[in-house]
Amino acid sequence: MKFSPSYTHKEPLDIVHFRFGIITASWNYDITENLKKGAYEKFITRGVREGNIFHWKVPGSFELVYAADKICKTHSIDALIVIGAVIKGETHHFEYISQAVSQGIKDINLRYDVPVIFCVLTDENKRQSLDRSGGKKGNKGVECADTAIEMALFRRSLFL
Ligand code: RBF
């Protein structure tokens, strides 16, 4: 996926001061860890300081909503990525969890000034999730780090 921001910015200057949060769900740990690794490495590659990346863990994707809400309320960050993997083949709760998480994260985006980036895979089976977390279809975590940076720049362009 290609990004072509519709506004201008001085990338290295801004990014070096940005603070990013990453919340990772432990369910389907092998997948979510790869997504986190992809996001983290992309942040570093684009000039984010290691000390400005903050990590939290929650048990499952459902808990991402609570954690994101509390972190947005209490922490000074420029954008937050929520990482999870909900796999249909392994749960009858698939629709409930996917809906609750996507709606919950959407609500948080409207409630706070912090952009919350949705990095929750909702796949039919584990193979598809593996393909999207560092496999043959790339790594959604990497794309989400780019999105987080673009949204942090967008936010900064409104407030400065
Ligand atoms: N959490 C995930 O992140 N991915 C899943 O695929 C997933 N499947 C679940 C299936 C069932 C039947 C249940 C009860 C929970 C599942 N969870 C999953 C955990 C959920 O996000 C949450 O941690 C728990 O429901 C506790 O609130």
pLDDT in tens, 66-105: 999 999 999 999 999 999 999 997 667 888 999 999 999 9
8 found inside a domain: no
137 found inside a domain: yes
36 found inside a domain: yes
Q: In a mutational test of the pocket of ligand 1, which residue from 27, 64, 88, 125 has the highest number of ligand atoms less than 8 Å from its CB? A: 27
Q: What is the pTM of this model?
A: 0.92
- Indicate the number of domains in the chain: 1
Range of the domain at 142: 16-42+49-157
Tell me what the mean pLDDT of segment 9-34 comes to: 88
**What DSSP string describes 41-89?**
HHHHHTT--GGGEEEEEESSTHHHHHHHHHHHHH---SEEEEEEEEEGG
d(Cα 102, Cα 112) in Å, to the nearest integer? 16
6 found inside a domain: no
Q: Which atom of ligand 1 is nearest to 26's Cα?
A: 3
Q: Which CATH number belongs to the domain containing residue 132 in this structure?
A: 3.40.50.960
134 found inside a domain: yes
Per DSSP bridges, beta strands 79-87 and 53-58 are unpaired
113 found inside a domain: yes
